[in-house]
A and B are shown apart, each in its own frame.
Chain A
Amino acid sequence: MSLRENATVDNFSEFFRRHETRLRQSLTPSLGIELAREAAAEAMAYGWENWSRVSQMENPIGYLYKVGKGKGRRMRVRRGTPLMSVPDTRIPDVEPALPEALNRLSERQRTVVVLVHCYQWTYSEVAETLALTRSTVQTHVERAMSSLRRDLGGTA
């Protein structure tokens, strides 16, 4: 392997290390955990195959998020419920109706609110990955939380 090829691999490796989890988590609210993992892998593979171009992009992770989302949706022909139910052992800690309430949100709201409140992303991180403005993220979060509280009634 040449020095240039080594540098390319190192460069992509660093990108992969830094962003794979973020990419996978960002896809989870819309695709579910299994498809999100596959879609993230597909997107990362696409990124690697096109690394010379992707690496020059202003927002490569945002780009790969779009790629992963498209690939994931293609994998999933029929609708499932993206977010898994709460395991019985965790029900004391989490309202069982929460996943279904999340699934009833619009995809955009679900994605944003899961990233912010479940995965503890900052608004800025969400904005960068989803290519939204920070204020839009904030608005989505507020509306999603409002919907969740209304949906869950007095249980949350």
Chain B
Amino acid sequence: MTSLEQQMVTYGEILEEEQGNLLLDEITSPRGDIIELGKYRRSRPKWLGFALGAALVVVLVGLIPFFTSQDQPPVATAPVPSTTPEPAPTNPVTTDPAPPTTEPAPTSNIAQIAESVTWTSHPGSAPLADRVLLTPTGLAAIHTEDFQAPLVYMTSNGLDWSVVAIPAPARVLTEFSHDLEIDPTPVGIWLTGPEGGLWFTDLESWASGEPSWEETASDADLIELKGPAPFGSRWAPGISGKARIGNTSLLAVEWELVIDYAAILDVPAGYTDIHHDDLDSCFSSGATGQLSVRARDSSGEDVCLTRVTMVNEAGGVIVLDESGGQVLIVENAVAEFDYGSGGPHISPASGMLDLYSSTGGQLKTVPSVDDSRIGCSHGLDQSVDAVVYSIDCQNPTSNRALSTGDGTTWEAVPFEADKAALGDRHPLGFFWKSTWPWGPPDDIGGPSTILVSPDDETWTDLNVSHALVFEMSAGLVITFIGDDGLADEIGIYDGVALTTVDVVWPIDEWPGFLGAIGDDLILIDGGGIWVGETFSG
């Protein structure tokens, strides 16, 4: 057998042969073919097919009362995205029966899943809102267009709304809709006023119907209001996006983060600090964890790295020093580490410091890294990338947004379905929600990965991106989101399988605001509200 490198070259040739370069052939065709690139787009014709089919079925359904009883009021025509630009129907509307699901039926709960989503329209019953949040007692719709007169509405059933008093002219400060839409234990709501000042209320207080506002001076105070967060979860200075207080019961696998710090120029002799945006700690249960800090110059060559200081999650300081290849735990971290017989490894000569378990030892804790101090005796006279890895860890004890060097923001958003409702099946997972500064401007965000586990041991990547996830009685309901709005199907993961259900959304254009109360999807757009029944049972 030839070398691995040569095998990969050959494998690349195999891939290209298989690919057949069909599109490459198109490149060389006349210009007109390029203009008609849309002909390659499979999803739109497929989607249009569904839409036209839906319209046909609805028309037929609409004709039924005409033939059966002239006294019955006609059934309104269901809206079909793009093909019917009319606004919300004024009567309760049932969408057409959808085509059969595209996924094989899971072994349980499938009987509860409707063949299609049934939408009921309630025009005019919803307030204008630019943000809709799920709270423990229902949905909160927040309208902040007018900075001086924001309004917060609450509903417990999706239909009846009441105005919630807010403490001052304010606007919503935080971006947390995704969290709250999927998190059964939302934290709170933050408001800030035009002259500064910050108010916080615990959403749980809304269970009594009125929020309990507390003024606070800083983000850190907000956390204090909530009490100490587990495992040192705290507000990190300078982060992009917002954090959630940690949840120790949630798992993650293959946690990998690379943070590049480029253009640290003219580092003098001695040490310099690299201020991370606070790399989360994570716990590993039998998995191999690795954390390394590497310094390289602008050409990618390793540079001298004699010392790395990391602050662990409990506030202790860990110092890795090249002398003797020792890890010096300065304080407060001894009990957290069990490297087994294989590590830690320190290879300062290569400019790389690794903490890992190479021979089966369990690395129980990878310390959180707030700041790294790098340096060497002769200084660093070129730009440096410090790359921080943490791979194959589990149990992130907290999650917060992390900004990488290219401006991409990553946030681990865990979700956990109702154990009681699902018995032994335990849909539990997390996804990375990433945003990037130069992505599609109309991208409304969402997860990049959804990992689920029925038993906390076996993990499956559902491989959906840009989705909203709701917890319902039969499992997790995943609404897929494309660049141009909601996809024409939703997924339901019940801990056994992912079932897709076609859906015709009752609005023509996204964005609307989608939430869930119980087993109903709540869609709010332009003051209209639709309730979508996903389950027949």
- Which B residues touch A44, using CB under 8 A? 37
Cα distance, A136 to B408, chains bound together (Å): 15
What mask results when residues 322 to 359 of chain B are scored 1 for a CB within 8 Å of chain A, else 0? 00000000000000000000000000000000000000
- Which B residues touch A84, using CB under 8 A? 14-15, 18
Most B C-beta atoms less than 10 A away, residue of A44, A78, A138? A78
Provide a sorted-by-A list of 13 A–B residue pairs whose CB atoms are within 8 angstroms: A20-B23, A44-B37, A45-B38, A48-B37, A62-B438, A78-B498, A79-B461, A94-B10, A106-B256, A119-B12, A131-B408, A135-B260, A136-B385
Q: Are A57 and B438 in contact (CB under 8 A)?
A: yes
What mask results when residues 457 to 477 of chain B are scored 1 for a CB within 8 Å of chain A, else 0? 000111111100000000000
What mask results when residues 480 to 501 of chain B are scored 1 for a CB within 8 Å of chain A, else 0? 1011000101010000001010
Q: Are B43 and A42 in contact (CB under 8 A)?
A: yes
Q: Are B256 and A58 in contact (CB under 8 A)?
A: no
- Which B residues touch A3, using CB under 8 A? none
Q: Are B300 and A135 in contact (CB under 8 A)?
A: yes
Q: Told that A20-B24, A42-B41, A77-B489 touch, could you supply 8 new A-B pairs with CB distance under 8 A?
A: A28-B19, A45-B40, A48-B37, A57-B438, A69-B465, A78-B462, A133-B262, A139-B387
Interface residues of A in 22-64 (CB under 8 A from B): 24, 28, 33, 36-38, 40-42, 44-46, 48-49, 57-59, 62-63
Q: Are A145 and B4 in contact (CB under 8 A)?
A: yes
Most A C-beta atoms less than 10 A away, residue of B7, B254, B408, B482? B7
Interface residues of A in 46-102 (CB under 8 A from B): 46, 48-49, 57-59, 62-63, 66-67, 69-71, 73-79, 83-84, 86-87, 90, 93-95, 98-99
What mask results when residues 106 to 140 of chain A are scored 1 for a CB within 8 Å of chain B, else 0? 10100001100111100100000001111110111
What mask results when residues 152 to 177 of chain B are scored 1 for a CB within 8 Å of chain A, else 0? 00000000000000000000000000
Contact of B405 among A41, A133, A155 (CB under 8 A): A133
Cα distance, A80 to B200, chains bound together (Å): 45
Q: Are A118 and B12 in contact (CB under 8 A)?
A: yes
Cα distance, A118 to B439, chains bound together (Å): 27
Q: Are A74 and B35 in contact (CB under 8 A)?
A: no
Q: Are A41 and B40 in contact (CB under 8 A)?
A: yes
Cα distance, A98 to B465, chains bound together (Å): 27
Most A C-beta atoms less than 10 A away, residue of B2, B19, B491? B19
Q: Give, as a whole number of angstroms, the nearest-CB distance from B479 to chain A.
A: 12
- Verify if B1 is at the interface (C-beta below 8 Å from A): yes
- Verify if B208 is at the interface (C-beta below 8 Å from A): no
Q: Are B14 and A94 in contact (CB under 8 A)?
A: yes
Q: Give, as a whole number of angstroms, the nearest-CB distance from A14 to chain B.
A: 10
- Which B residues touch A76, using CB under 8 A? 463
- Which A residues touch B35, using CB under 8 A? 9, 48
- Verify if B224 is at the interface (C-beta below 8 Å from A): no
Interface residues of A (CB under 8 A from B): 9-10, 12-13, 16-17, 20-21, 24, 28, 33, 36-38, 40-42, 44-46, 48-49, 57-59, 62-63, 66-67, 69-71, 73-79, 83-84, 86-87, 90, 93-95, 98-99, 106, 108, 113-114, 117-120, 123, 131-136, 138-140, 145, 148-149, 152, 155-156
- Verify if B34 is at the interface (C-beta below 8 Å from A): yes
Q: Give, as a whole number of angstroms, the nearest-CB distance from A106 to chain B.
A: 6
Q: Give, as a whole number of angstroms, the nearest-CB distance from A40 to chain B.
A: 7
Closest to A40 in B: B23
Q: Are B462 and A63 in contact (CB under 8 A)?
A: no
Interface residues of B (CB under 8 A from A): 1-5, 7-12, 14-16, 18-19, 21-24, 27, 31, 34-35, 37-38, 40-43, 102-103, 254, 256, 258, 260, 262, 294, 296, 299-300, 385, 387, 389, 391, 405-406, 408, 436, 438-440, 443, 448, 460-466, 480, 482-483, 487, 489, 491, 498, 500
Q: Give, as a whole number of angstroms, the nearest-CB distance from A45 to chain B.
A: 4
Closest to A69 in B: B465
Q: Are B461 and A118 in contact (CB under 8 A)?
A: no
Most A C-beta atoms less than 10 A away, residue of B4, B256, B462, B489? B4
Cα distance, A140 to B4, chains bound together (Å): 16
Q: Are B23 and A86 in contact (CB under 8 A)?
A: no
- Which A residues touch B10, using CB under 8 A? 90, 93-94
Most B C-beta atoms less than 10 A away, residue of A79, A84, A118? A118
Q: Which 4 A-B pairs have the closest CB atoms?
A: A118-B12, A41-B40, A73-B465, A117-B8
Contact of A94 among B7, B41, B387 (CB under 8 A): B7
Most B C-beta atoms less than 10 A away, residue of A13, A95, A132, A133? A133
- Which B residues touch A117, using CB under 8 A? 5, 8-9, 12
Q: Are B11 and A118 in contact (CB under 8 A)?
A: yes
- Which A residues touch B498, using CB under 8 A? 77-78
- Which A residues touch B103, using CB under 8 A? 77-78
Known: A45-B41, A86-B14, A156-B3. A74 touches B487 (CB 8 A): yes
- Which A residues touch B436, using CB under 8 A? 66, 131
Q: Are A13 and B34 in contact (CB under 8 A)?
A: yes
Cα distance, A28 to B20, chains bound together (Å): 13
Cα distance, A46 to B40, chains bound together (Å): 11
Q: Give, as a whole number of angstroms, the nearest-CB distance from B32 to chain A.
A: 9
Contact of A98 among B11, B254, B440 (CB under 8 A): B11
Q: Are A74 and B14 in contact (CB under 8 A)?
A: no
Q: Are B41 and A41 in contact (CB under 8 A)?
A: yes
- Which B residues touch A33, using CB under 8 A? 15, 18-19
Q: Give, as a whole number of angstroms, the nearest-CB distance from A36 to chain B.
A: 8
